[in-house]
Amino acid sequence: MKPLMTLVDAGKITIASQLTDRLREAIVSGQLAAGAKINLERAREQFAVSLSPLREALARLISGGLVQFEDNRGYRVAPVSLSNLREITRLRKEFEVFALRESMSAGDIDWESDVMRALHKLNRCARDAAKPSTLEQWEASHREFHIALISGCRMPVLIEFCRVLLNLNDRYRRTFLRATSGDRKVGAEHGEIAQRAVARDVEATCERLELHIDRTGSNLLRHLAGKIGP
C-alpha cells in the first residue's frame, strides 16, 4: 500500500507512459524534427530506455497525429505542411467554438472557477526568451487555459479531439515562432474571452475565440510560408 505516494505523484509510473509524455514534448517542442525518421536504436539510447516501452509509447502517439507509422519501415515524426496547418486552424475554429458554446450552456460554477484560475495562471507566466523553462511553462498554462474554456461542455470525446488539435497547433507555434516576443494582443484576448465566457455572453465570446484562433493561425501561416515556401 502506498496511498500517499499515489496522491503525491498522481502521475505516470511506467516507463512507457513517462516516455509517451517525453516523446510528445520532444516532438511538439521541435526537438525531434518534423518529418524525421525515428531510428529505434538511436532513440533507445537517447532516451535511455529499452525497445518494448519505446515502441509502445510511439504506438500511443500515432493517433494524436504527431507520429506516423508504416509496416516494416518504422516510425517517423509527422511532417508539417501549409495545408496541414490550414486544416488544424479551420478545425480548431469549428470544434473549439462549438465546445465553448456548449460549455457556456452546460458549465457550472466549478467550470467558471477553473477558467478564471487558468487565466490567472497564464497571466502570471512571464515569458523570458532566455530561459526555455519559462517558455515551456507558458505553453503548458496556455494549453490548460484553452482546455479549461471548453471543459464545461461535458463531452470527453470532444475535449480529447480539441486536445489533439491543440497539440498539433502548438508544435507549429513552438517550432516556427520560437523567438516571438509575447505579442501583447494575445494576453488581452485571453482575458476578454474568459470574462465574457463566464458571463455567458455567448455570441460575443464565440466570435472572439474564433477571431483569436484565426489571428494566431494566420500569423503562423505567414511565418511558416516564409520558412518552407520559398
Partner DNA sequence: GATATGGAAATAATCGATTATTTCTTGGTA
Partner DNA sequence: TACCAAGAAATAATCGATTATTTCCATATC
Measured from the CB atom, is 93 or 190 closer to its own copies?
Answer: 93
Reported as type and span, the H/E element at residue 202 is helix 202-228
3-state secondary structure at position 68: strand
Please select the residue that binds DNA; options are 26, 30, 40, 192, rule is CB under 7 A.
Answer: 40
Q: Binding to DNA by residue 56, rule CB under 7 A?
A: yes
If one asks whether residue 186 binds DNA (CB under 7 A), the answer comes out as no
- Binder among 31, 46, 50, 81 for DNA (CB under 7 A): 50
Instruction: Work out whether 38 is an interface residue with DNA (CB under 7 A).
Output: yes
- The residue range among 65-73, 150-158, 168-176, 189-197 that interacts with DNA, by the rule CB under 7 A, is 65-73
Q: Which of residues 14-33 bind DNA (CB under 7 A)?
A: 14-16
Pick 40 or 155: Cβ nearer DNA: 40
CA separation for the pair 145, 103 (Å, rounded): 14
47 binds, among its own copies, DNA, none (CB under 5 to 8 A by kind): none
The residue type at 216: T
**Side-chain half-sphere CA neighbours of 44 within 13 A:** 9
Grid cell 455567448 is found at 202
98 binds, options its own copies, DNA, none, Cβ within 5 to 8 A by partner type: its own copies
62 binds DNA (CB under 7 A): no
With CB under 5 to 8 Å by kind, the binding choice for 1 among DNA, its own copies, none is: DNA
Specify the DSSP element, H or E, that contains 196.
helix 184-198
What's the min distance (Å) between Cβ of 140 and its own copies? 21
Which residues in this chain contact its own copies in the complex, by CB under 8 A? 12-14, 16-17, 52, 55-57, 59-60, 62-65, 71-72, 84, 87-88, 90-91, 94-95, 98, 155-158, 160-161, 164-165, 168
d(CA 177, CA 158): 27
Collapse the DSSP code of 69 into the 3-class scheme (helix H, G, I; strand E, B; otherwise coil) and give the result. strand
* 1 lines the binding site for DNA (CB under 7 A): yes
Helices 132-150, 109-123: axis angle to 10 degrees equals 160
**Contact predicate 125/137, CB 8 Å:** yes
Cβ neighbors of 176 (< 8 A, separation 6 or more) are: 220, 223, 224, 227
